[in-house]
């Protein structure tokens, strides 16, 4: 089946947004009110995790964002370079530190965060000549809902969508709306516009209904195709994932059986792998298999993107891992 996404040959997949380090509490409990053991820094930020997985799988990939002139920034840029990601449009802010997120898991699986994003380098970038040069030759734009809460990212995304689409490129959107991130009215409107312009939508759980603005899975899917989305892949955590095509076709993919060490980044690796496989010409079925493997493999390793796999690593993972019944 021909892909509804622009082929890899048109130019890199570009992701715009927050670049962070993550520092993880090694014990489970409530928040950060006492001194405690921590591990990190790990390269992070949902858009960065996504683009790392694209690069590792052998897709053309590039990132737009900013880091500080510090080791936390270098952890990120070194990592993305190693993954084959074009970092020419990542700027280095001379005055502000690299963004960070401290995370601690609670007993019930929920997370407490201490963020430094809005007042860090992560939120201080904008359109520049280097960004323009990249967007002018890019083939696909991927937008994370989380990036919409960063004003500088919003401005770049608005401009990039039009340029990429005008040259025959495509758009994917992961709503990725954490409950901690509240959207104001203007951001909510932008979000709706982006959803309607998306060729591929990658929601997780209840984000599907939120993006569609209607209740019920079947209703939401119907509505999204009606407003112009071309392909939808719904992520269901350990319950797997489902592909929906605009002609009413559907493929369910069972999750792989793994020991979960750190769930952060599963959805971003899943999305990066799915998109890259589709842009490289694979069928939805084959892309779903790689995406499910990428999500599952990533949760077996501590650190948000430490388990992102190469094509070879994912092939080995698929060959050696059972799937859930």
Tokens of 45: 């930020």
Sheet arrangement for strand 38-44 = 38-44, 20-25, 99-105, 111-116
| Residue of 165, 167, 210, 236 that binds ligand ATP (CB under 6 A) | 236
Q: How many CB atoms lie within 10 A of CB 30?
A: 11
- Pick between residue 19 and residue 255 the one whose CB is nearest to ligand ATP: 255
**Would you say 82 and 12 are in contact if contact means Cβ atoms under 8 Å apart?**
no
Site for ligand ATP in 178-217 (CB under 6 A): 204
> What is the smallest separation between the CB atom of 176 and Mg ion, expressed in angstroms?
4
267 binds Mg ion (CB under 5 A): yes
Tokens 């892949």 found at: 233
- Pick between residue 134 and residue 314 the one whose CB is nearest to ligand ATP: 314
Q: How many CB atoms lie within 10 A of CB 179?
A: 6
Site for ligand ATP in 260-319 (CB under 6 A): 260, 263-268, 270, 292, 295-296, 299
Helix (H, G, I), strand (E, B) or coil at 121: helix
Alpha-carbon 277 to chain mean position: 15
> What is the smallest separation between the CB atom of 241 and Mg ion, expressed in angstroms?
12
**Would you say 264 and 315 are in contact if contact means Cβ atoms under 8 Å apart?**
no
> What is the smallest separation between the CB atom of 35 and Mg ion, expressed in angstroms?
31
71 binds ligand ATP (CB under 6 A): no
Q: Output DSSP code: residue 20.
A: E
User: Which of ligand ATP, Mg ion, none interacts with 169 (beta carbon under 5 to 8 A by kind)?
Assistant: none
238 binds ligand ATP (CB under 6 A): yes
Least Cα distance to 91 among 61, 64, 55, 60 occurs for 64
Site for ligand ATP in 117-136 (CB under 6 A): none
The region of 82-90, 101-109, 147-155, 229-237 touching ligand ATP under the rule CB under 6 A is 229-237
Q: How many CB atoms lie within 10 A of CB 134?
A: 21
Question: Which residues here bind ligand ATP, judged by CB under 6 A?
Answer: 176, 204, 235-238, 240-241, 255-256, 258, 260, 263-268, 270, 292, 295-296, 299
Question: Which residues here bind Mg ion, judged by CB under 5 A?
Answer: 176, 204, 267
């Amino acid at each position: 089946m021909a892909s509804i996404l622009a082929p890899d040959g048109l130019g890199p997949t570009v992701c715009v947004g927050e670049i962070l380090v993550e520092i993880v509490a090694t014990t489970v409990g409530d928040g950060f009110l006492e001194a405690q053991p921590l591990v990190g820094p790990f390269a992070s930020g949902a858009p960065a995790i996504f683009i790392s997985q694209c690069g590792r799988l052998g897709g053309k990939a590039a990132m737009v964002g900013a880091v500080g002139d510090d080791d936390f920034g270098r952890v990120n840029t070194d990592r993305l370079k190693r993954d084959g990601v074009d970092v020419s449009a990542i700027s280095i802010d001379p005055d502000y530190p690299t963004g960070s997120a401290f995370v601690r898991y609670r007993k019930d699986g929920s997370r407490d965060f201490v963020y430094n994003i809005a007042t860090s380098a992560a939120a201080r970038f904008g359109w520049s000549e280097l960004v323009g040069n990249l967007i002018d030759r890019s083939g696909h734009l991927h937008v994370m809902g989380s990036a919409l809460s960063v004003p500088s990212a919003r401005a770049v995304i608005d401009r990039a969508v039009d340029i990429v689409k005008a040259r025959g490129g495509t758009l994917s959107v992961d709503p990725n709306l954490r409950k901690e991130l509240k959207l104001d009215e203007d951001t909510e409107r932008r979000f709706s516009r982006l959803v309607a312009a998306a060729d591929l939508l990658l929601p997780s759980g209840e984000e599907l209904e939120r993006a569609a603005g209607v209740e019920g899975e079947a209703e939401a899917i119907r509505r999204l195709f009606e407003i112009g989305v071309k392909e939808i892949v719904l992520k269901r955590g350990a319950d797997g994932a489902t592909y929906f095509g605009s002609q009413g076709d559907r493929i369910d993919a069972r999750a792989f059986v793994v020991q979960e060490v750190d769930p952060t980044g599963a959805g971003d690796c899943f999305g990066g792998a799915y998109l890259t496989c589709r842009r490289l010409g694979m069928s939805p079925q084959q892309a779903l298999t790689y995406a499910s493997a990428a999500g599952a493999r990533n949760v077996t390793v501590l650190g948000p993107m430490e388990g992102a796999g190469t094509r070879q690593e994912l092939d080995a993972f698929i060959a050696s891992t059972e799937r859930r019944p």
